[in-house]
């Protein structure tokens, strides 16, 4: 039996416990636990400033934020999306009675390939839902051009893209809306949480109504809204995390650089491209196990497990392979050759701020010594 300490694909960053006490005392004092309390308001403000966005609406989790974003834009019919993501992306469409149409990905970025979008547009298409996979920016300009030509909405699943910027600033300012996840496994976490970023105050107001049962005031309900509100406890954790986020991102950057240096010369291992001119968040460290490497992807995955290293095969299986999507014509693997290949090659190696140099070396040795 291997007795090495387990290393998971990620570990949430948690500030010193005593730093949480003042926040708890405030909640206990004023007895506002949820429904848009003071910490909720403070966190919205602080995140707008930190991320460089105009309007943000906090949610209990990223999935409900995706579901609500589609509601807020009144999306119906068919939506073009990627099969290479976490299931929540496509599930948010099914929850709205929308038909997902899967389009293949770009082999370098692993994001939705804009060159393949037009062929999938039908008279029923109303929107595109791309994902900034691993926090790597989509080709937002090409996507917007298609959306403008065909009068489509764009909702970015930006669950991985906290803090990511392109040459124009926050990546979250593209499209009609962007959705973040603040789940425990994310770069910035509120235990569970999420948010919608939108461009104007009127849209934010509609989102705020939708996440609060549709209530406008005590006696007025304007829509069949959901309960998607973030609690004061989660918002307090977010405010506390924000104080440490720059340090956490800097540590991730160091770990990313060490992996790239150590693995760049390993035959058959390809590190997925780095941020280029973008400001990255180093949310994941995906490698592709290609022919030329002595082990298959699954054999390497298994070997790491035997040494108590719990890397993950994000995103295998493809969303399109799950039973509720398989029968869709666009889910046919022949329509998705790049995504299908990527799903069988990828392993995400552990990356998180408290991963030590020794632990990282253990992982690197296992990948390189074959
Ligand atoms: N869109 C995209 C593109 C997404 O990736 C996600 C979520 C969403 C939308 C939806 O957002 P949320 O509704 O979740 O806010 C995880 C997360 O549950 C999920 O949030 C995330 N994407 C997905 C990529 O990964 P699992 O099944 O891999 O999580 P789990 O529990 O196996 O955790 C992975 C590792 O993290 C564990 O081995 C140990 C560590 N861990 C995990 C938790 C929960 C901890 O150390 N502490 C923890 O509390 O799905």
CA 235 / ligand 1 centre spacing (Å): 19
The Cα 195–Cα 127 span in angstroms is: 20
Q: What is the Cβ-side half-sphere exposure of residue 31, based on CA atoms within 13 angstroms?
A: 0
The Cα 144–Cα 132 span in angstroms is: 14
CA 282 / ligand 1 centre spacing (Å): 16
Residue with the smallest CA separation from ligand 1 atom 20 is 183
Q: Is the pLDDT of residue 75 over 80?
A: yes
Q: What pLDDT does residue 61 have?
A: 98
On average, the pLDDT of the chain sits at: 97
CA 309 / ligand 1 centre spacing (Å): 17
Name which of 188, 197, 129 is nearest 163 in CA terms: 188
Contacts of 355 (CB under 8 A, 6+ apart): 7, 11, 255
Average pLDDT over residues 218-234: 97
- Confidence band, pLDDT 50/70/90 cuts, at residue 273: confident
Q: What pLDDT does residue 4 have?
A: 82
| pLDDT tens per residue across span 317-362 | 999 999 999 999 999 999 999 999 999 999 999 999 999 999 999 9
CB 306 within 8 A of CB 327: no
17-240: which CATH number, 2.170.150.20, 3.30.70.980, 3.90.1150.10, 3.40.640.10? 3.40.640.10
Q: What pLDDT does residue 276 have?
A: 73
What does CATH list as the number for 245-368? 3.90.1150.10
Percent of the chain having pLDDT more than 90?
96
Q: What pLDDT does residue 1 have?
A: 64
Average pLDDT over residues 118-141: 97
Contacts of 270 (CB under 8 A, 6+ apart): 287, 288, 290
For residue 279, the 8-state DSSP code is B
Tokens (6 digits) for 228: 């998607």
The Cα 101–Cα 126 span in angstroms is: 11
For the chain, the first-to-last Cα distance in angstroms comes to 20
The Cα 357–Cα 257 span in angstroms is: 12
CA 84 / ligand 1 centre spacing (Å): 15
Pocket, ligand 1, Cβ cutoff 6 A: 8-12, 61-63, 85-86, 88-89, 131, 157, 159-160, 181, 183-185, 194, 310, 312, 314
The Cα 291–Cα 345 span in angstroms is: 9
Q: What is the Cβ-side half-sphere exposure of residue 272, based on CA atoms within 13 angstroms?
A: 26
Tokens (6 digits) for 246: 């720059």
Q: What pLDDT does residue 116 have?
A: 98
CA 183 / ligand 1 centre spacing (Å): 6
Tokens (6 digits) for 119: 């062929």
- Which residue out of 185, 189, 343 has the highest number of ligand 1 atoms within 8 Å of its CB and is therefore the one to mutate? 185
- E-strand ranges in the chain read 7-8, 55-59, 78-81, 99-102, 125-129, 153-157, 165-166, 169-170, 177-181, 194-198, 215-217, 220-221, 269-271, 285-289, 309-310, 346-349
| pLDDT tens per residue across span 260-271 | 999 999 999 999
- Confidence band, pLDDT 50/70/90 cuts, at residue 275: confident
Break the chain into its structural domains and give their ranges: 17-240, 245-368
Nearest-atom index, ligand 1, CA of 181: 15
| pTM of this prediction exceeds 0.95 | yes
The Cα 251–Cα 181 span in angstroms is: 20
CA 63 / ligand 1 centre spacing (Å): 11
């Amino acid at each position: 039996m291997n007795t090495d300490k387990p290393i998971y694909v990620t570990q949430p960053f948690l500030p010193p416990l005593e730093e949480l006490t003042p926040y708890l005392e405030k909640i206990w004092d004023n007895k506002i636990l949820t429904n848009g309390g003071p910490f909720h308001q403070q966190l919205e403000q602080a995140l707008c400033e930190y991320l460089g966005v105009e309007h943000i609406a906090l949610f209990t989790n990223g999935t409900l934020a995706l579901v609500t974003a589609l509601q807020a834009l009144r999306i119906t019919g068919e939506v073009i999306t990627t099969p290479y993501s976490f299931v929540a992306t496509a599930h948010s469409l099914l929850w709205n009675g929308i038909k997902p149409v899967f389009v293949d990905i770009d082999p370098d970025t692993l994001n939705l390939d804009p060159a393949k979008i037009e062929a999938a547009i039908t008279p029923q298409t109303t929107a595109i839902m791309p994902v900034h996979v691993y926090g790597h920016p989509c080709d937002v300009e090409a996507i917007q051009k298609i959306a403008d030509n065909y009068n489509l909405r764009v909702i970015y699943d930006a669950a991985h893209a906290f803090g990511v910027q392109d040459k124009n600033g926050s990546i979250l300012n593209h499209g009609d809306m962007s959705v973040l996840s603040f789940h425990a496994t994310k770069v910035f976490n509120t235990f569970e949480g999420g948010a919608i970023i939108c461009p104007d105050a009127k849209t934010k107001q509609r989102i705020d109504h939708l996440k609060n049962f549709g209530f406008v005031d005590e006696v007025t309900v304007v829509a069949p809204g959901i309960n998607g509100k973030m609690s004061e406890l989660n918002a307090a954790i977010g405010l506390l995390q924000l104080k440490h986020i720059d340090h956490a991102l800097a540590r991730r950057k160091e770990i990313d650089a060490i992996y790239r240096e150590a693995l760049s010369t390993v035959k058959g291992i390809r590190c997925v491209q780095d941020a280029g001119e973008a400001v990255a968040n180093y949310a994941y460290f995906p490698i592709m196990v290609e022919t030329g490497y002595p082990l298959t992807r699954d054999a390497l995955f298994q070997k790491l497990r035997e040494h108590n290293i719990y890397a993950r095969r994000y995103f295998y299986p493809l969303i399109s392979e799950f039973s509720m999507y398989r029968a869709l014509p666009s889910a046919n693997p022949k329509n998705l050759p790049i995504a299908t290949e990527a799903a069988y090659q990828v392993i995400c190696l552990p990356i998180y701020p408290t991963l030590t140099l020794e632990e990282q070396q253990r992982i690197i040795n296992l990948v390189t010594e074959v």
